[in-house]
């Protein structure tokens, strides 16, 4: 958890220089400037000191550390970059008018916002920028340091109201470059919002994303995270969520197609009485490696967590789930359940799962479960006995398995081809 600190303590500087291929890359970054200047300085310093994550770092112990180097192979995308990954054909704007779309790129201009949405002024932003990170364990995260080091701009939105259009953010990629985005989203009390993030990595590109989301009292956010990669694409993202009293945060994340993808969710329920729902699906094939790492901390009483993470691994791929639940003494009457379900469909594939529960409060209900299995033979047999061929039967079963998570993504019918694509891949 304390990746940077641990690395700093354990390694002498001499060793560091030797293991850190990132120095040249860091030097190639544009000079620190603007609103994020202090973050850029800090991030670069951390990266230089810490080097790459080590296998002794609990957060990375299952990962193939060599792949991280892929991130450093690519130059940072800029205003001048050619963003080619996203095309309107591939992802047509929603036909309904009640969706606001942002295509997030380094050079993006402000667009006019509908009622209920506003940009957060740079003065005010200081209240939010980095605050949620400081209040969670994310501060020690290597991927947070990476984003700090290279993100040049921040998209900061405030949302207020209930009958709002849903918000869609496409995090675009530039071929042969690393796209770094930083987003701050503030939901005022009692606000309800549907939010979709779409991360595309169609070509040899890298992604580093860092989102801080603040949910005011009784606010609710229905959050979709669809990350579809391709080729040699890599993606590391941190979602840092701070929930106030009686707020509700529901995340549905789907990751597929990345050589390296890592989604780290940090949720802190500040004053208790809040609800968090985390649903995840990760599908890996070929040599892909996908990780979901979640940390949920209850800093007040009567919090609730429902978590279900599903994985399908085929070929020589590797699927990793780490789920931390932290219930300190103040968090009486917490009710948390976590389930990790994994389908391992090939002998060369690997699944690692590690729930981690730390519980001090005594009046709590916490349960967790994990299974690693293959498709149920009886189910397959049942379908086959009704004349369905084994390949079709497998597809049907897999579709059902994935649909359990995917159905929570808020897509209109005209987008459903994305989901078919996803399952078709397997």
Q: Which residues bind other proteins (CB under 8 A)?
A: 62, 329, 332, 342, 344-374
Which residues have C-beta within 8 Å of that of residue 96, sequence separation ≥ 6? 412
Q: How far is the CB of 98 from other proteins (least distance, A)?
A: 42
Distance between CA atoms of residues 297 and 288, nearest Å = 30
Instruction: CB nearer to other proteins: give 250 or 366.
Output: 366
Distance between CA atoms of residues 206 and 151, nearest Å = 13
Instruction: CB nearer to other proteins: give 23 or 370.
Output: 370
Q: Residue 240, CB half-sphere, CA atoms under 13 Å: how many? A: 25
Angle at 416 between CA 264 and CA 163, to 5 degrees: 75
* Residue 50: its H or E element: helix 37-50
Q: How far is the CB of 288 from other proteins (least distance, A)?
A: 16
Q: How far is the CB of 196 from other proteins (least distance, A)?
A: 32
Instruction: CB nearer to other proteins: give 131 or 356.
Output: 356
Instruction: CB nearer to other proteins: give 168 or 302.
Output: 302
End-to-end CA distance of the chain: 33
Distance between CA atoms of residues 114 and 118, nearest Å = 8
Instruction: CB nearer to other proteins: give 152 or 355.
Output: 355
Angle at 82 between CA 79 and CA 88, to 5 degrees: 110
Q: How far is the CB of 158 from other proteins (least distance, A)?
A: 38
Query: Residues 276, 304: contact at Cβ < 8 Å?
Result: yes
Q: How far is the CB of 406 from other proteins (least distance, A)?
A: 23
Q: How far is the CB of 345 from other proteins (least distance, A)?
A: 6
Distance between CA atoms of residues 44 and 73, nearest Å = 16
């Amino acid at each position: 958890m304390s990746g940077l600190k641990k690395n700093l303590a354990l390694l002498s500087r001499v060793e560091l220089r030797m293991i850190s291929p990132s120095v040249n890359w860091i030097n190639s970054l544009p000079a620190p400037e603007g609103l994020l200047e202090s973050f850029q300085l800090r991030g670069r310093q951390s990266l230089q000191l810490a080097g790459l994550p080590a296998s002794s770092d609990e957060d990375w112990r299952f990962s193939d550390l060599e792949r991280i180097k892929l991130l450093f192979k690519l130059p940072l995308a800029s205003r001048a970059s050619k963003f080619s990954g996203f095309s309107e054909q591939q992802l047509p704007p929603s036909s309904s008018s009640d969706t606001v779309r942002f295509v997030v790129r380094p050079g993006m201009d402000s667009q006019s916002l509908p009622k209920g949405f506003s940009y957060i002024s740079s003065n005010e932003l200081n209240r939010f920028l980095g605050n949620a990170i400081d209040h969670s364990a994310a501060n020690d995260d290597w991927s947070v340091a990476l984003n700090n080091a290279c993100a040049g701009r921040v998209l900061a939105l405030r949302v207020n109201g209930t009958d709002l259009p849903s918000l869609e953010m496409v995090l675009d990629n530039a071929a042969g470059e690393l796209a770094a985005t930083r987003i701050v989203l503030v939901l005022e009390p009692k606000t309800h919002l549907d939010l979709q993030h779409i991360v595309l990595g169609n070509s040899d590109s890298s992604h580093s994303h860092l989102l801080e989301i603040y949910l005011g009292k009784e606010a609710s956010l229905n959050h979709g995270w669809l990350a579809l990669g391709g080729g040699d694409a890599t993606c590391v993202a941190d979602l840092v969520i701070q929930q106030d009293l009686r707020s509700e945060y529901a995340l549905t994340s789907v990751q597929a197609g990345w050589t390296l993808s890592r989604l780290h969710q940090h949720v802190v329920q500040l004053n208790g009485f809040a609800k968090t729902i985390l649903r995840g699906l990760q599908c890996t094939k070929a040599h892909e490696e996908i990780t979901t790492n979640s940390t949920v901390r209850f800093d007040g009483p009567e919090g609730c967590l429902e978590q279900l993470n599903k994985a399908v691994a085929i070929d020589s791929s590797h699927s990793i789930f780490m789920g931390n639940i932290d219930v300190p003494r103040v968090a009486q009457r917490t009710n948390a359940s976590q389930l990790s379900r994994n389908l391992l469909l090939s002998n060369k594939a690997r699944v690692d799962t590690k729930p981690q529960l730390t519980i001090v409060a005594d009046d709590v209900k916490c349960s967790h479960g994990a299974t690693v299995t293959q498709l149920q033979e009886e189910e397959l047999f049942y379908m086959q006995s009704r004349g369905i061929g084994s390949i079709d039967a497998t597809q049907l079963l897999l579709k059902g398995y994935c649909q359990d998570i995917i159905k929570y993504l808020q897509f209109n019918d005209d987008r459903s081809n994305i989901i078919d694509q996803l399952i078709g891949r397997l």
